Structure 1
C-alpha cells in the first residue's frame, strides 16, 4: 500500500472523513514553513497596508489602524501545493469583507493582486477573494503569527492551495483582468483548486 493510501486509511481509523483530503495530498499534524528566499525584516514603525488600483480612492492604513478593526475567527483545512494538508487550523483576523466595505471599487474591477514583502504576489478573482470566512489573519491557534508564518498579516483563503494564502501581506491591487502573481509566473496554476489538483501550468 502506498504512503498516500496508508495516510487516508489512517484518517478513517481516526474517524476522520478521508474525503476532506484532496487527491494527491497527505494529512499531517505539522505546519511546515516554506518560502522562496529569506524571511523579511518587518519594521512595524514603517509598515502599512495599501489598497490601490481600480478604486475610487487609494487607501493606506498603519498597523494601529488594523488593530482597531473588527476581527473574526475561522477554522479551516489548509492544503499546500507540496502535497501536505492540515485540518482544523484556527485563525483570527480582519475579514476580507470588512476591508472591502471600506473602499469603493470601480465597476470594471474583476480581480485582485495580493502584494507582500520581497515582491511576492498572488492573483485572485474577486468572488474568491470575498468568499465568506477569508481573513487577513494576525493570530494562529490563539497566538500572534510568527514571522515564519507571515507576521504581521497573512491572507487566509483556505479553499485554494495555500500559496494563495500569502504571507507578509502589504495590501492588494484591484485589476480589470487576471494576471499572474509570483508563483503563477513560475509554473503554478493561475487558480489553484486543490480538489481539481490545479497545481501547475497545464493542469486542467
Structure 2
C-alpha cells in the first residue's frame, strides 16, 4: 500500500477484459448510498403491470403475479454510480432480461430501448446494452427483498453502465428505432454512461 492509500499498479484488481475492476474516478464503499431525484413511492401500484411495447413482434403486459411466475436467476456483479461511488460483489435475484426478450422478440429495426418507471422516470440505452448476460429485472439484493429507496420492489439492472441507467420502480420497456434521451440524459448526464470511459456528462 502506498503512502496515500492507493494500491500499486500490480495490486489493482482487473476484470476479465483487462480493464481495472474499479472504474476511473470511483471510490469503493460497502454501504449502498440512496440517491434519487424523485420521492420514493409508497409501494407497488395496485394496478402495476410490466408493459413491453414498441418495435417487438409480441407486445405484452404482465401483472405482478404473472411477472413473479417467470423463471428467476441469481448472479453477482459490481455496481457503479455516476456520483463516484462503487460497490463490489452485489448479489442480485430476479428475472433475466432474456426471459422478456425471448417473449417480446424485438424487430430488426429495434436498436434502442427506453425504460419506464411508474414515477415517470425514463432512461434510454442501445438494445445491445440491454440484451446482455448481466442484465436483469431485480427483486432482491444480497438475499433480501429490494428496498423501496433502492428501487424496490422491482428495478432494472444494467451493471456495466452507471446506475442511472438501472431504472428504479420499473414498469415498462419500450423498443425504439431511434434513440431518445431519458430523464437524466435530457438534463446533461451522458447518453451512454460507460464507467470505464468516465461518460458522466454530455
Same fold (TM over 0.5): yes
Structure 1 partner of 2:59: 58
Checking the alignment, whether the CA contact within 8 Å between 1:79 and 1:86 is kept in structure 2 is yes
- 1:145 paired with 2:146, answer yes
Q: How far is the alpha carbon of 1:39 from its aligned partner? A: 0.6
- 1:89 paired with 2:51, answer no
Mapped to 2, the partners of 1:90 and 1:164 lie a distance apart of 18
Checking the alignment, whether the CA contact within 8 Å between 1:44 and 1:63 is kept in structure 2 is no
Higher-helix-fraction structure: 1
Mapped to 1, the partners of 2:42 and 2:49 lie a distance apart of 14
Structure 2 partner of 1:158: 159
Farther off after superposition, 146-155 or 35-44: 35-44
Mapped to 2, the partners of 1:84 and 1:122 lie a distance apart of 20
Matches within 5 A, 1:149-188: 149-188=150-189
Q: Do the aligned partners of residues 43 and 166 (structure 1) sit closer, same or farther apart at CA in structure 2, a change above 3 Å counting?
A: closer
Mapped to 2, the partners of 1:36 and 1:74 lie a distance apart of 28
Structure 1 partner of 2:79: 78
Structure 2 partner of 1:9: 7
Q: How far is the alpha carbon of 1:178 from its aligned partner? A: 1.0
Aligned residues: 194
Q: How far is the alpha carbon of 1:46 from its aligned partner? A: 1.1
Q: How far is the alpha carbon of 1:44 from its aligned partner? A: 4.5
Q: Deviations over 1:40-64 (max 9, x none)?
A: 2334431110001112332110010
Q: Do the aligned partners of residues 107 and 37 (structure 1) sit closer, same or farther apart at CA in structure 2, a change above 3 Å counting?
A: same
**Tell me, which stretches of 5 or more residues in structure 2 are unaligned?**
15-19
Name the SS of the counterpart of 1:65 in structure 2.
Answer: helix
The runs of at least 4 consecutive aligned structure 1 residues that moved more than 6 Å come to none
| RMSD after superposition | 1.9
